[in-house]
Amino acid sequence: MTSFTAADIPPQGGRTIVVTGANGGVGRVTATVLAGKGARVILAVRSEEKGRAAAAAMGVNTEVRRLDLADLSSVREFAESFTGPIDVLINNAGISIPPLTRTVDGFESQFGTNHLGHFALTNLLLPQVRDRVVTVGSLVHLIGKVDVTDLNWHRRRYRPYGAYGQSKLANHLFAHELQRKLSAAGSSVISVVAHPGIATTNLMNVEGRGLRYRVEKSIVQSIAHSAEAGALPSLYAATADIPGDSYIGPSRLLGMRGAPSPAKPAAKTRNAENARRLWQASEELTGTAFTLPADRPREEAGR
């Protein structure tokens, strides 16, 4: 257990950090703190207008670039336009329990945005990453099940919570398999997972939901901590001296709140066969693959 706060983050001058979904919630807090520590922070956001408003409030050291994770062409455009080195990529953006909708490429929206968009982005940017990839997960992965035969809910009856759980479990499996591949390539770049616990953000603010959702939201909000507290695991994962494959989350109330610390991962997030099958399916769906050269010297990728 730690007593980590934003004050414990060392100076980040000279480092470039990309944060997806940085215009609101945990992502905005994460970007704000890192920019305040001197990092050059790239706000990768779907709405440039909202991104510019967020950046203006943050002050110096920020740059806004458009990224729509629900559109693979946007992901590719973002990656192609970014030619410089990246120290930390924080895969933070996400959507939560909407009605059945599909991305531009025909994917179920939660799986397409939360997992496949970040999967493609990471693979495309990975040759430029010098330190680590932080994937922001969720406690909801504990109820998730990845069905590689129907990842996009064409055959199954769509269940918003089930689809959200699948997308967040996919985040964990992706991060685990990414670390395996990085280690096999001899890279010192690491892959880690952080989750915010239960934080009061706008992630669940979707119109038109029923009584059950409103009751559950009320219960959740009664135990939630702030977005500032929810961002601490991401900040810890992005800046602390931790090993690859680490899992960082709040240390109290079954991981729902409290200061961040290394947490014990669920066994299903370490299922190597499921991770490999998901990775293969994700490559086929996105047309992207792990591209870090196998002979890349460790010192060239150093932190």
For the annotated catalytic residues, the residue numbers are: 164
Taking alpha carbons only, the member of 193, 256, 188, 266 closest to residue 226 is 256
167: phi > 0 → left, psi -120 to 50 → alpha, else beta; which?
Answer: alpha
Q: How far apart, in whole angstroms, are the C-alpha atoms of residue 157 and residue 154?
A: 8
Distances (CA, A) of 36 to 29, 30, 60, 62, 260: 10, 10, 8, 10, 20
By DSSP bridging, strand 62-66 and strand 16-20 are: unpaired
Per the CB < 8 A criterion, the answer to whether 146 and 173 are in contact is yes
Taking alpha carbons only, the member of 105, 86, 160 closest to residue 113 is 105
Q: What is the DSSP string of 195-233?
A: ---SB--STT--TT--HHHHHHHHHHHHH-B-HHHHHHH
Taking alpha carbons only, the member of 266, 268, 246, 118 closest to residue 192 is 246
Q: How far apart, in whole angstroms, are the C-alpha atoms of residue 161 and residue 153?
A: 13
- Beta-carbon contacts of residue 212 (< 8 Å; ≥ 6 apart): none
CA angle at 254 for the pair 252 and 256, rounded to the nearest 5°: 70
- Beta-carbon contacts of residue 270 (< 8 Å; ≥ 6 apart): 176
Token pair belonging to 103: 């991305």
Residue 225's identity, in one-letter code, is H
